[in-house]
Structure 1
Amino acid sequence: MPGFVLLVRPRGDGDDEPGVGFTVSKKVGNAVTRNRIKRRFRELARAALRESGIAGADHVLIGRPGGNDIAFAELGEHLDSALKRAAKKLAAKAL
């Protein structure tokens, strides 16, 4: 995805609550830029992970340069798409 990278890893601890983490490196921009991206990620995660998150897995959103330039609604669509692809990959590994 152009604004972020999504990593998903099953925990295997029996807890169905999806975990979430955020990281934005200094390569992305100054502190104001990084904090704005993280705030946007937190709001996206609140909405999307409850509905589309993979139960019992940790989700990490890694910010990429230009993430602030993308409209919030578009970032939400990208996250939904990334979560669907991650779910398919995890389902394929389970077989």
Structure 2
Amino acid sequence: MQRITRRQDFVAAAKAVSWSNPAFLLQARLRSDDGVPRVGFTCTKKLGNAVIRNRIKRRLREAARLGLASVVQKSFDYVVIGRSAAETSDFEILKSDLISAANRLHAKALPKTEAK
């Protein structure tokens, strides 16, 4: 997985489908190219100072590295927006919530194929 670093990619993902959780908000956007999946992480200043925001992002990055690697799909951009519950929630629950959120977003974002 590659990292999303450009602001316009974060903005484009904000217009896509999303799934909310007490610990994070996951946004997934299906790109038009056939590239590798990309993941971006962000937290707002409302969560606290830089130490707290970085701790939340570190936990979410590691959960995504361990959990999302098995469910990400080509041509998708994922943006994980951290919330305050991500700082104290159990890591295994955080990881499983990321996996289930990604699976739900794939069902929403992918075009439905008609059965013949």
Q: TM-score, normalised by structure 2?
A: 0.75
Q: 1:75 aligns with which of 70, 83, 94?
A: 94
CA RMSD of aligned residues (A): 1.1
Whole-Å Cα distance in 1 between the matches of residues 31 and 43 of structure 2?
Answer: 23
Contact residue 63 and residue 95 of structure 2 kept, 8 A: yes
- 1:5 aligned residue (6, 22, 25): 25
8 Å CA contact retained: 1:18, 1:49: no
Alignment of 1:1-95 (within 5 A): 1-15=21-35, 17-91=36-110, 94-95=111-112
CA shift, 1:54, in A, is: 2.4
Percent of pairs identical after alignment?
45
Contact 2:59/2:86 (<8 A) preserved: no
Kept in 1: contact 2:41–2:79 (CA 8 A): yes
User: Secondary structure in 1 aligned to 2:74?
Assistant: coil
Matched length: 92
> Which protein shows a greater Rg?
2
Classify the secondary structure of the residue corresponding to 2:32. coil
Runs of 4 or more above 4 Å deviation: none
Shift of 1:29: 1.4
Instruction: Give the aligned residue type for 1:34.
Output: R
TM-score, normalization by structure 1? 0.90
Q: Which amino acid aligns with 1:5?
A: L
Stretches of structure 2 that go unaligned for 5 or more consecutive residues are 1-20
- For structure 1, list consecutive stretches of 5 or more residues without a partner in the other structure: none
